[in-house]
């Protein structure tokens, strides 16, 4: 058993938040744990290990994926974006700012995954309706907010990102 | 729109949360984010059976897994006298099973290894031989004389845990016998689980060189956990440092002490290395504290006019394999005696019998102040039945029976003194917001068109803020809470409290309370919780107690600072302290309003320029023992439509008017209400931990245990009335749990209202579409 595992580890290289990083991973290592434990980026959270809660959502070549259901080796030579990459030059991403402004988070545990899903949502659909937002984030569970202010925050960000006045 | 934390006079304002900048960046520090040098990982082997005798445990294979450092079984713990631990309810619970297992997924062995994966690999290779025994799943079956005995360790040789009763049985029976109208209903609140998105976990870090144990743990009550750990482990309490880092939601799930916690501590003590244990989602849902599982029968007596005369309640409480409820010690059924609700019952009687079954142990107060949800659901449901019986509007039956404003402080027949309330005003506000008359008209029109449309009302009263030390303790420790404030020379402050927030916003709201008392801004006050080496002792955050207890301590500690500050201000203003007054922002010389100094000048003087003989420094600690509990209330109105084809219930409107007394931060209060309503919705429509007849947990993950997503969650409309608590230092009552306590009955009353023309008075939650469809089918209403 020992030899199997030792031999099986292989180097995985990813471009994460624009930076080339690499680390060893067992074939069974999940991307979520590779990001958190090997690369040390703990903003990506694990809430269920079963693709249900969405706390581990990251962008994989721009597409939102639940990183607890992707193997680290699958990410080799791919581009990953996590919550840590949203801020630029000490300025929060409009979605981060909108979540703060609109009380779109409470305990904050689901927030990184919720933000990454929202980033992908607004990239595909810059002007989502409330229903589109609710369906768009339905793979991400939040137990604190009841989603009201998350929906509000995403709407607010969508307006700001289009440089339109936000609805009150 | 929210405002910045630099706002002056912050109390009552929608200040943006101070905790958010780190959380939106993914820079929160949750338990599993912490990595210590040399850290090992623990995983648990668990029973596949609900009830079975353990014949043999073989570890040889498991020890062959590379990286395994140690494996612990119940037999090892027995030698240390640690195979059982006390529960907060005064029962005891197995840490690792010895003899037999009593519920599916029960902890049987613990493996510690160099990696998470190695620990899990080894768990798979532990061989355990079981002899399955007949499981007892139904609490009523557990009470039968021929039921298998579950707890062989007890002197008492049956499955009955406790009988608890309150009120006047005879007077209640007499009043019911002579009441012209009596309604009776059996109401079940099924087993649910709080399921915060972050599971439970801990890191035990015992340093042999110093003899100190640092214990990082997802704890809503870090000080209480330190004391419990000292009592269980025998370690001196000052050598235990509990750190509760950022917590990803609690809802009561993170109040108890769990077997995994004890095992990781034991392992760290043995190995001298940090040991991390983090639950999987299945471990969280299937083993850590559930809630409810209350089976309640209620009778209400009334006059023909609908004036209530008596309430009688009998309840069977299923606690699972161990009574691991986290209730105040004198209250085995929690604060269930709030069951008379918002109504002026002349007499009442309630009894609760606790029962063991082969299910996971508990139960905890899930977003609830100890069985208040059960009580509120029951009374709000049965008042609805009374309204149906008398053909009265559900708003009218409530109005006729509300405790009136002039009756406060109100003595309830089950022993509580309600502090304040204006129930008519709260209900009227809700009816106005929802436009009740119009809603009833719409309902009539749509019914005429063949639609199944219902309107439900819930006008609940909660009891929170446990609690006054004459009544409330946990294992003897009084349920006060505390705050320590230090003002630094430059006029900034740090405040530490005995509570531990999990998303409630304490870093902002308690800063607002303190800043408002001291003429500062919330930005100037750093709030710190969760570190037992620095924070004053307190009983933690659950049961909506933080604002009623620690919030009171915060205000009173700040006022203590002001008492000293006024002396220093007098010195600076060169007047007598009697001639200084606090104008809400500054200390001013009486009659000379232009001569005033603020907290920043006073703070500097406290370290640089003191009156002769005064002790330097500016800090205060307050341990606040509340004189009474607080009694938030609310009026909720739901409108639902039932799909005749699928049985799906759509919540079309929901108006929630809460009265939580003084509001510290309206944005945070609304957020708490949104979240609580959504959990109440989940409880009414989706969430249930069901078991099959063999005791298999049928919902041990988020694919079977359904919690609301953004798609199911209804749109919430909120409103408020403000009736301050007369005894709380700032008049605040607490709000985190009201919406979860009050909303399930509103949903179910609405569904019953939709079906009441067909004779329905009760439906059992959760109202899955298939269940509602079955009801429709029986009534011949399916399409």
CB-CB contact of A53 with A141 (8 Å): yes
Closest residue in B to A96 (Cα–Cα) = B24
Residue A16 parent element (H or E): strand A10-16
* B549 in a structural domain: yes
User: What is the spatial distance between Cα B53 and Cα B55, in angstroms, rounded to a whole number?
Assistant: 6
B548, B532: one domain: yes
Q: How far apart are CA B50 and CA B575, in angstroms?
A: 75
Q: Among the three residues B581, B603, B624, which one is the final residue of a domain in this structure?
A: B624
Tell me, yes or no, whether B613 and B633 share the same domain: no
Q: Domain A2-85: give its CATH code.
A: 3.10.20.30
SS (H, E, C) B347-403: EEEEEEEEEECCCCCECCCCCCCCCHHHHHHHHHHHHHHHHHHHCCCHHHHHHHHEC
Q: Provide the 3-class DSSP secondary structure of residue B188.
A: strand
B576 and B498 share one domain: yes
Sequence ranges of the domains in chain A = 2-85, 94-160
Cβ pair A92:B24 closer than 8 A: yes
Asked if B268 and B260 touch (Cβ cutoff 8 Å), the reply is no
Q: Do B490 and B569 fall into the same domain? A: yes
Q: Which of B200, B202, B263, B368 is catalytic?
A: B368
Report which DSSP code applies to B7.
-
Say what the pLDDT of residue B329 is.
86
Question: Does the distance separating the beta carbons of B251 and A106 come in below 8 Å?
Answer: no
Nearest to A48 among B64, B505, B702 (CB): B702
What percent of chain A shows pLDDT beyond 70?
93
Same domain, B595 and B639: no
* Euclidean distance between the first and the last CA atom of chain B, given in angstroms as a whole number: 46
Regarding beta strands B525-529 and B493-497, do their DSSP bridges make them parallel or antiparallel, or are they unpaired? parallel
Active site residue B29: no
**Domain final residue, candidates B576, B591, B624:** B624
Minimal Cβ distance to B249: which of A44, A101, A143? A143
For residue B1, what pLDDT is reported? 64
Tell me which residue in A2, A135, A147 faces B713 most closely, judged by beta carbons: A147
Whether the per-residue pLDDT at A1 is higher than 50: the answer is no
| Structural domain includes residue B722 | yes
Do B609 and B689 lie in one domain? The reply is: no
With 0.90 as the threshold, say if the pTM is over it: yes
Residues B440, B489 within the same domain: no
Q: Do B458 and B498 belong together in one domain?
A: no
| β partners of residue B642 | B452, B649
CB contact under 8 A, A52 and B701: yes
How far does the CA of residue B153 sit from the closest CA of chain A (Å)? 35
pLDDT at A106: 98
Task: Extract the tokens encoding B150.
Answer: 């579950």
From the list B120, B121, B97, the residue with the least C-alpha distance to B48 is B97
Task: For residue B737, indicate whether it is catalytic.
Answer: yes
pLDDT, chain A, mean: 94
Give the closest residue to B72 by CA, choosing from B106, B111, B121. Answer: B111
User: Are residues B441 and B550 part of one domain?
Assistant: no
The answer to whether B384 touches B302, Cβ cutoff 8 Å, is no
Distance, in Å, from the CA atom of B127 to the CA atom of B132, rounded to the nearest integer, reads 15
Domain of residue B678: give its range: 394-407+418-464+629-783
Contacts of B667 in chain A (CB under 8 A): 103
Give the tens place of pLDDT for each residue, A116-143.
Answer: 999 999 999 999 999 999 999 999 999 9
Q: What is the pLDDT of residue B233?
A: 87
How sure is the predictor about A7, in pLDDT bands with cuts at 50, 70 and 90? low
Q: In sequence order, what DSSP letters do the residues of B276-332 get, joined into one string?
A: EEE--HHHHHHHS-BEEEEEEEEEEEE-TT--EEEEEEEEEEEEETSB-----TT-T
Task: For residue B121, list chain A residues with Cβ-Cβ distance below 8 A.
Answer: 1
pLDDT of residue A8: 86
* Residue B661 to residue B683: CA distance in whole angstroms: 26
| Residue A5 in this model has a pLDDT that exceeds 70 | no
B220 is catalytic: yes
Q: How far is CA A58 from the centre of its chain?
A: 3
**B200 catalytically annotated:** no
State the complex-level ipTM: 0.97
| Euclidean distance between CA atoms A32 and B634, whole angstroms | 42
Of B574, B601, B624, the residue that ends a domain is B624
Query: Which residues have CB under 8 Å from B746's CB, separation 6+?
Result: B380, B456, B457, B458, B636, B637, B638, B654
Does residue B534 contact residue B241 with C-beta atoms inside 8 Å?
no
Catalytic residue (choose from B93, B106, B220, B512): B220
* Closest Cα in chain B to A114: B24
Given the candidates 3.40.50.10860, 1.10.150.120, 1.10.15.40, 3.30.70.980, the CATH classification of the domain at A94-160 is 1.10.150.120
Strand B160-167 and strand B347-356: the pairing is antiparallel
Q: With cut-offs at 50, 70 and 90, classify the pLDDT of residue A2.
A: very low
In a domain? residue B183: no
- Averages of pLDDT over each 10 residues, chain B, 783 residues: 91 98 98 98 98 98 98 98 92 97 98 97 98 98 97 97 98 98 98 98 97 98 95 93 98 96 97 98 97 98 98 98 91 96 98 98 92 98 98 98 98 98 98 98 98 98 94 90 98 98 98 98 98 97 95 98 98 97 95 92 98 97 98 98 98 98 98 98 98 98 97 97 98 96 98 98 98 98 93
- Residue A67 CA to residue A50 CA, distance in Å, equals 10
All residues of chain B having their beta carbon less than 8 Å from the beta carbon of residue A28 are: 117
Domain containing residue B544: CATH number: 3.30.365.10
Structural domains in chain B (count): 2
Whether residue B283 lies inside any domain: the answer is no
Task: Indicate whether B460 and B492 sit together in one domain.
Answer: no
């Amino acid at each position: 058993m020992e030899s199997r595992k030792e031999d099986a580890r292989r180097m995985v290289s990813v471009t994460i938040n624009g930076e080339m990083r690499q680390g060893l991973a067992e074939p069974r290592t999940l991307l979520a744990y590779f990001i958190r434990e090997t690369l040390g980026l703990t903003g990506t959270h694990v809430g269920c290990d079963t693709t249900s809660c969405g706390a581990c959502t990251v962008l994989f070549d721009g597409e939102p994926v639940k990183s607890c259901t992707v193997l680290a080796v699958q990410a080799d030579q791919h581009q990953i974006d996590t919550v840590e990459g949203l801020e630029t030059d000490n300025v929060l991403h409009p979605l981060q700012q909108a979540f703060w402004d609109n009380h779109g988070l409470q305990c904050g545990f689901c927030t990184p995954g919720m933000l990454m899903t929202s980033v992908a949502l607004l990239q595909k659909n810059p002007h989502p309706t409330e229903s589109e937002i609710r369906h768009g984030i339905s793979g991400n569970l939040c137990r604190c907010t009841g989603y009201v202010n998350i929906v509000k925050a995403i709407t607010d960000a969508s307006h700001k990102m289009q440089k339109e006045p936000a609805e009150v | 729109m929210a405002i910045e934390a630099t706002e002056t006079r912050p109390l009552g304002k929608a200040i943006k949360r101070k905790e958010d900048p780190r959380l939106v960046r993914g820079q929160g520090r949750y338990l599993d984010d912490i990595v210590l040098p040399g850290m090992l990982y623990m995983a648990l082997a668990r029973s596949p059976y609900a009830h079975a005798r353990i014949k043999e445990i073989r570890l040889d294979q498991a020890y062959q897994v590379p990286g395994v450092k140690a494996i612990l079984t119940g037999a090892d713990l027995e030698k240390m006298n640690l195979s059982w631990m006390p529960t907060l309810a005064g029962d005891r619970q197995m840490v690792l099973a010895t003899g037999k297992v009593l519920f599916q997924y029960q902890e049987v062995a613990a493996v510690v290894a160099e990696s998470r994966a190695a620990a899990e690999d080894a768990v798979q290779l532990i061989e355990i031989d079981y002899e399955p025994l007949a499981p007892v799943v139904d609490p009523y079956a557990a009470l039968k004389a021929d039921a298998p005995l579950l707890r062989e360790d007890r002197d008492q040789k049956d499955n009955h845990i406790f009988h608890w009763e309150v009120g006047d049985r005879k007077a209640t029976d007499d009043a019911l016998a002579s009441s012209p109208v009596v309604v009776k209903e059996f109401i079940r609140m099924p087993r649910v689980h709080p399921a915060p998105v972050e599971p439970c976990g801990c890191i035990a870090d015992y340093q042999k060189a110093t003899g100190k144990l640092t214990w990082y743990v997802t704890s809503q009550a870090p000080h209480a956990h330190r004391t419990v750990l000292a009592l269980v482990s025998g370690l001196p309490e000052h050598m235990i440092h509990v750190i509760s880092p950022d917590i990803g939601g609690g809802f009561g799930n993170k109040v108890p002490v769990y077997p995994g916690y004890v095992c990781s501590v034991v392992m760290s003590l043995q190995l001298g290395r940090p040991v991390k244990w983090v639950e999987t989602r299945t471990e969280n849902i299937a083993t850590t504290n559930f809630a409810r599982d209350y089976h309640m029968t209620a009778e209400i007596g009334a006059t023909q006019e609908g004036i209530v005369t008596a309430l009688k309640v009998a309840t069977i409480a299923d606690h699972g394999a161990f009574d691991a409820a986290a209730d105040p010690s004198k209250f085995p059924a929690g604060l269930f005696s709030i069951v008379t609700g918002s109504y002026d019952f002349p007499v009442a009687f309630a009894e609760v019998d606790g029962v063991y079954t082969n299910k996971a142990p508990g139960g905890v107060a899930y977003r609830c102040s100890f069985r208040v949800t059960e009580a509120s659901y029951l009374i709000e449901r049965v008042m609805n039945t009374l309204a149906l019986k008398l053909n009265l509007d559900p708003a009218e039956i409530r109005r006729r029976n509300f405790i009136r404003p002039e009756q406060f402080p109100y003595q309830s027949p089950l022993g509580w003194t309600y502090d304040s309330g204006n129930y008519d005003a709260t209900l009227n506000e809700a009816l106005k917001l929802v436009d009740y008359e119009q809603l009833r008209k719409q309902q009539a029109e749509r019914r005429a068109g063949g639609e199944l449309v219902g309107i439900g009302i819930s006008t609940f009263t909660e009891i929170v803020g446990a609690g006054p030390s004459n009544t409330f303790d946990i294992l003897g420790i009084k349920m006060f809470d505390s705050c320590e404030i230090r003002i630094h020379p430059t006029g900034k402050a740090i405040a530490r409290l005995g509570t531990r927030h999990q998303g409630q916003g304490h870093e902002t709201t308690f800063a607002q309370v303190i800043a408002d008392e001291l003429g500062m801004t919330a930005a100037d006050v750093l709030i710190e919780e969760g570190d037992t080496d620095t924070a004053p002792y307190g009983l933690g955050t659950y049961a909506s107690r933080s604002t009623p207890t620690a919030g009171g301590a915060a205000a009173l500690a700040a006022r203590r600072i002001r008492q000293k500050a006024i002396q220093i201000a007098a010195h600076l203003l060169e007047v007598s302290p009697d001639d200084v007054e606090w104008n809400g922002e500054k200390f001013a010389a009486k009659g000379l309003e232009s001569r005033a100094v603020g907290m920043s000048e006073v703070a500097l003087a406290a370290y640089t320029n003191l009156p002769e003989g005064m002790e330097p420094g500016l800090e205060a600690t307050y341990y606040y023992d509340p004189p009474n509990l607080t009694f938030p209330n609310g009026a909720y109105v739901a409108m639902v439509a039932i799909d005749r084809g699928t049985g799906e219930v759509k919540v079309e409107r929901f108006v929630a008017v809460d009265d939580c007394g003084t509001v510290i931060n309206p944005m945070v209060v609304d957020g708490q209400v949104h979240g609580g309503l959504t959990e109440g919705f989940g409880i009414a429509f989706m969430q249930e931990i069901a078991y099959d007849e063999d005791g298999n947990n049928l919902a041990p993950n988020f694919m079977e245990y359904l919690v609301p997503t953004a798609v199911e969650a209804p749109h919430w409309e909120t409103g408020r009335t403000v009736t301050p608590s007369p005894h709380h230092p700032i008049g605040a009552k607490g709000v985190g749990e009201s919406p979860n306590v009050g909303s399930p009955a509103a949903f179910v009353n609405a569904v019953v209202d939709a079906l009441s023309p067909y004779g329905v008075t009760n439906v059992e939650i959760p109202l899955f579409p298939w269940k509602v469809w079955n009801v429709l089918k029986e009534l011949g209403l399916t399409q």
